[in-house]
Amino acid sequence: MAQPHDRLVRALLDDVDRMAAILDGLAEPPLPCGPTEGRLVRLRDVLIDPDLRRSEPDFLYALDGGEEPRDLIVVEHLSRQTPNVPLRALAHKTTLYQDVERSLGPNARFPNVHVVVLYHGASRWSAPREFEELYARKEGNPGSRTNVIVHVIDLGRFDDGEIRRRLGRCAAALLVLLLNHGRGKEIRSRLREWDDLFRATVEEKGGLSLLRAMVWYLYFVSDIAPEEVHALPFAQESEETKTMIKTTAERLREEGLHEGLEKGWQGGLQEGLDKGLREGLRKGLETLLVARFGEIPRELAERIASSDADTLEAMLRRAPAVDAPADLLDGSAP
Query: Using 50, 70 and 90 to split pLDDT, how confident is the model at 102?
Result: confident
How far is Cα 313 from Cα 327, in angstroms, rounded to an integer?
Answer: 15
Quick one: which of 158, 124, 117 has its CA closest to 31?
117
How far is Cα 45 from Cα 50, in angstroms, rounded to an integer?
Answer: 9
Across 36-64, average pLDDT: 69
Instruction: Assign 3-state DSSP to the chain and report helix, strand, coil percentages, each to 5.
Output: 55, 10, 35
At residue 23, the pLDDT reads 95
Q: Which of 45-49, 89-93, 138-142, 279-283 has the lowest mean pLDDT?
A: 45-49
How far is Cα 246 from Cα 212, in angstroms, rounded to an integer?
Answer: 10
Range with the largest mean pLDDT of 59-73, 132-146, 184-198: 184-198
Q: What is the mean pLDDT of the chain?
A: 80
Range with the largest mean pLDDT of 184-193, 248-257, 259-268, 316-325: 184-193
Give the CA distances from residue 95 to residues 51, 67, 129, in Å, rounded to whole numbers and listed in that order. 7, 18, 20
pLDDT tens-digit readout, 176-223: 999 999 888 888 889 999 999 999 999 998 888 899 889 888 888 887
Judge whether residue 252 has pLDDT over 90: no
Query: Using 50, 70 and 90 to split pLDDT, how confident is the model at 66?
Result: low
Residue 140: exposure state from Cβ atoms within 10 A (0-12, 13-18, ≥19): exposed
Judge whether residue 161 has pLDDT over 90: yes
- The pTM of the full predicted model, rounded to 2 decimals, is 0.70
Judge whether residue 302 has pLDDT over 70: yes
Query: Using 50, 70 and 90 to split pLDDT, how confident is the model at 332?
Result: very low
Query: Three-class SS string for 98-126?
Result: HHHHHHHCCCCCCCEEEEEEEECCCCCCC
What are the sequence ranges of the domains in the chain? Answer: 4-227, 258-329
Long-range contacts of 302-305 (CB under 8 A, 24+ apart): 303/328, 303/329
Give the CA distances from residue 48 to residues 43, 101, 223, in Å, rounded to whole numbers and listed in that order. 8, 12, 39
